[in-house]
Each structure stands twice: as structure tokens, then as C-alpha cells.
Amino acid sequence: MLSVKGASSALSRTGSLVGVVNRSITTTAQRFQDYQQVPGASSSNTSTSSLSSSSSSSSKPTTTTTARPKKFTIPASTPYLDKVMPLHFPSRTLREFPSLLEFSDPVLDPPPSSIDRSEPTTRTPYPSTVTYLNDPQHFDRTPPSADSLVLSASSDADEVNSEQYLSTVTPLSAQEVRNLHRHALVLKRVVHMTTKGKDASMYALVVAGNGKGLVGYGEGKDTNASKAGRKAFHAAVKNMDSVDIHSGSDGARTIETQVEAKWGATRVVLRPRPAGFGLRVPPVIHAICRSSGITDLSAAIYGSTNPVNTVKATLQILWGGAAPLGMGDGQGGKMRRNDKGRGMRGRVDIERSRGRRIEEIN
């Protein structure tokens, strides 16, 4: 049996043990309260309530387990996410990307005068806006007047100022039209036989280009040779299209691969060449290469050397593109002859067809 003295000493030890447990529980609860104040820390109210209830329980000696704090995680809405974080882009990307703060888009950033705002009414409780895009860039240009095209100082009353006319009907400026390459390849007299006799006229074939990837050809007929040449030049400028020129690391400006085309009895073969090779091509193809900006190329003509067929076959290659079979002219008729076939393909098209990337080997 336990004596009174032993019982009193046991009670005193038990009381001291309960006091230590209460102090440890209070310290743990205080730590949890401090942890709740940390941004992003996820704490449970149930653990705190269970600790407070255990501290106010009976003074019996109990064993408590201290909960480990969870890892520091940022929830969905915290001050850390509300703060704008800077985006880091490579300097090359920033140079190529347009500055939207300096240049306004005519469609996305219209002026206030082009916006008609409607306030909500009893019949229409929602506001609305209507934007008018009447910028001349989005619509066809106004045709030039006859007074602006006729040369007052010219002896002929029907002479037309080519620079003013072409700068009005094309996106080119008058200075760009003035700097175009112009090669008159054919100028001859032709005869149209009618029931009343022979109707003679002059025929002209002109190739024009800017030397930077745009080239076109045009044909013109008139009783006057100069007027026929002017008509052909206007048609060539209106007919200009882009050429996919390969710019090599060695400075060569040529085509991607060997291509050929056939027009009538004329077959033209074009072959790429390295830098410094020059233009070792027939005269007609030489004029086309000079107008388009190709500096290194070799070519051969098999069969007929008719310059008209040679020009059409060469540009059928350089203009590239391919039309699906049976597409026609889009209006129920047959496809135009110069739109048939497959032209020159660029590097991207060749890589996609081969399924591999093309690398230059010096």
C-alpha cells in the first residue's frame, strides 16, 4: 500500500508534470498562430481548436503529439500572384517584334472619330459601338482623273504619264516606278488579216522588275511603236509577282534547286550556282534575272528559242505556286495556260516534301 507521504509526493510530481504539459501545449498553440500569419501558409482551424480544448481539459497527465507544419505553398490568390512579374524575351525577338506602343493598328486602334457609341436605352439596355473603317488602305484606290494622266507638255494629246498612272493603280510610289528595271525584248510589226485587208500594228514585249524579288512581263499592241512599248510596260508592272530567291551564306542569290518548264516547243532548264558564278544564261533569261535580282544562275533552252515562249516558260518557273488539278479559273471555265503546272518551290516547301531540313555545306 502507498503511504500518505508517498501519495503526497506522487501527487506533487503529477501536478508538476501537468504544468509542464500545459506549458508545452500553450507554446505549440502560439507557434501555430504565428504560422497562420505567414502569407500563403495553409493552416487548419480544427487543429487549433483541438489544442485549446485539450489545454482546458482535466489535469490528468496525457500524451500529446505536436503536428508538423506543412510545406510553404502559394495558394490561388495571394499578394505574390497579384504582383506583375516581368517577362524576359531574347533581344532578337524584341527587335523582330513590332512595337505596338509606337505604331497604331488601323483596325485594332481606330481613332475616336471613327467610333459611333450608343448609350443604353429602355428598349436596348446594353451599350454598343460601331467602328467605321473607311481607310483608303482597306479599299481600292480612286481611279486617276484624265487631267492628271495627260502630259500637257507632250505633242500627243493621248500621252500618259506612266509614273503617275502606275503609282495610282499599284502600291508602288512614283520613285519606285522610276527605279524599275525595264527591258524591251521584242518589238516587231505584226499583221492581222481581215476581210478588208491587212491590219498592221506594232507588238512589244517588256520585262520589268525592281531587282529585289519582283518581276513581271507585259505585252502591248498599237499602231505606234512607242505606245505599244508603253502599254507593254504598264502591263508588266501590273503583272509583277514575287520570286523566291535563295540568299546563300556565301553571298549567292540564286534558286533553291534545278527546275524546268515547257511552253509550246520551248523547254527551259534553270540550275542554281554558287557565289561569283554570274549569269551564264541566254539573253532573254538574263534580262529576267537582272529584273528579279538573281545574280548567280545557269540556264539552257532546248527546242524553240522563241523569246515570247522563253519568257513565259521562265516566269512560270520563277513565280512558283501550284494549282490543284481541275480547279479551273474559278468561274466554271478552263484554267489559264500560264497558271498550269508547278513552279519553283522555296526552301520551306522542299523541306516539308522531303521531311528533313536543308543545310548549306560550304
User: How many domains, in total, are found in the chain?
Assistant: 3
User: Does 120 fall in a domain?
Assistant: no
- Give the per-residue pLDDT at 46: 45
Burial class (CB in 10 A: 0-12, 13-18, 19+), 109: exposed
| The three grid cell numbers given for residue 140, joined into one nine-digit string | 481600292
Range of the domain at 154: 149-242
Q: Please tell me what DSSP assigns to residue 272.
A: E
User: pLDDT of 126-149, one tens digit each?
Assistant: 888 888 776 555 556 666 665 566
Higher pLDDT, 154 or 123: 123
Q: Domain check: are 205 and 275 in the same one?
A: no
Kindly report whether the global pTM for this prediction surpasses the value 0.95.
Answer: no
User: pLDDT of 13-47, one tens digit each?
Assistant: 444 444 544 454 455 555 555 545 545 444 444 44
Any idea what the CATH number is for the domain that residue 182 is in?
Answer: 3.30.160.20
Q: What gap in Å lies between CA 121 and CA 125, rounded to an integer?
A: 5
First to last CA, the chain: 105
Beta bridge partners, 246, equal: 254
- Give the per-residue pLDDT at 336: 63
Higher pLDDT, 1 or 303: 303
Mean pLDDT confidence for 268-285: 93
Q: Domain check: are 295 and 215 in the same one?
A: no
| The three grid cell numbers given for residue 55, joined into one nine-digit string | 489545454
Residue 306: alpha-carbon gap to chain centroid = 40
Q: Domain check: are 188 and 252 in the same one?
A: no
Mean pLDDT confidence for 284-306: 95
pLDDT at 1 over 50: no
Among candidate residues 218, 242, 266, the one where a domain is terminated: 242
Q: Domain check: are 289 and 360 in the same one?
A: yes
- Give the per-residue pLDDT at 84: 61
The three-state secondary structure class of 302 is strand
Amino acid letter, 197: G
Amino acid letter, 4: V
Mean pLDDT confidence for 258-281: 91
How far is CA 33 from each of CA 21, 39, 67, rounded to the nearest angstrom?
A: 19, 13, 13
Q: Domain check: are 158 and 219 in the same one?
A: yes
* DSSP state letters, 168-182: HHSS--HHHHHT-EE
pLDDT at 94 over 60: yes
Q: Domain check: are 250 and 361 in the same one?
A: yes
- Give the per-residue pLDDT at 271: 93
